[in-house]
Amino acid sequence: MNVSVRLAKRVAELVRCSRSEAERYIEGGWVTVDGRVVDAPQHPVAPGAHVAVDPDARLEAAEPATILLHKPVGFDTISGSRPAAPLVRPETRWADDASGVRLLPRHFQRLTPLVPLDAEASGLMVLSQDGRVWRRLTEDRDEIEQEFVVEVSGEIAPYGLRRLNHGLQYGGRELPPCKVSWQNEVRLRFAIKGVQGGQLQAMCEQVGLGVVAIRRIRIGKVPLARMPVGTWRYLPARERF
């Protein structure tokens, strides 16, 4: 009778290693079943299935993934009826991703979106499986500078740029100083901490400007870079927010 066995057992027999080492090979994405990467040690394997271990396989722990997405306009980050998280798929990975991280099926499971961004805005969005990243971007979020490019219309009020930098209120409180400058005749750059939903639009309205578009281009030390809208890349271990 043909009986399926756990993939870890088959790999242990194939490589002549312990069951725990076999599980690490599998979780590291080094094992294929009939040509497809499988990273679940408990995956059932039929007797006739072709199991192969990459010759370059290394016994190293599979690190949790952090993914940077260029969110399009109209998608929600943390909550909402149109979440951006499903945009993160193997086929939407940025072709120029230079992180060196190997794509694994497990990287698309239990991704937590972090650092809110208005649905009407586009730009850098973070999704992570890493508890260290979660703590950094939640507990320390108000201390991390974010950078936005805001396209505006209308004519700015007298001393408007000075007021944008310091002197406005939002949500019933005085806003702390931030750094605002003209990028060109219709775009402002905001470098700001603790930004809230709708805050940038409100700030611009208070100095006579309408908002045409908002794009987040940096969170802390991590830039959006040249990623096209709707694509994503891994955050490598060497990069920190």
Contact 202, 152 (CB under 8 A): no
Number of domains within the chain: 3
Read off the pLDDT band of 1 (50, 70, 90). Answer: low
Instruction: Write the CATH number for 158.
Output: 3.30.2350.10
Contact 58, 225 (CB under 8 A): no
User: What's the rounded Cα separation, in Å, for the pair 79 and 119?
Assistant: 10
Q: Is residue 241 part of a domain?
A: no
User: What's the rounded Cα separation, in Å, for the pair 170 and 5?
Assistant: 61
User: What's the rounded Cα separation, in Å, for the pair 88 and 68?
Assistant: 9
Domain boundaries, position 196? 145-219
User: What's the rounded Cα separation, in Å, for the pair 200 and 193?
Assistant: 12
According to the model, what pLDDT value does residue 183 have?
A: 96
Asked if residue 104 and residue 200 are part of one domain, the reply reads no
Q: Is residue 58 part of a domain?
A: no
According to the model, what pLDDT value does residue 195 have?
A: 95
105: left (phi over 0), alpha (psi -120 to 50) or beta: alpha
Beta bridge partner(s), residue 192: 146
pLDDT tens column, 40-89: 899 999 888 999 998 888 887 778 999 999 999 999 999 899 999 999 99
* Helices within the chain (DSSP H only): 7-15, 19-27, 131-139, 160-165, 199-206
pLDDT tens column, 8-17: 999 998 888 8
Rounded to whole angstroms, what are the CA distances from 139 to 112, 143, 148, 230? 15, 9, 21, 28
Q: Is residue 98 part of a domain?
A: yes
Average pLDDT over residues 142-155: 97
- Look up tokens 């199991």; give the residue: 51
Asked if residue 119 and residue 89 are part of one domain, the reply reads yes
User: What's the rounded Cα separation, in Å, for the pair 32 and 22?
Assistant: 13
Asked if residue 227 and residue 210 are part of one domain, the reply reads no
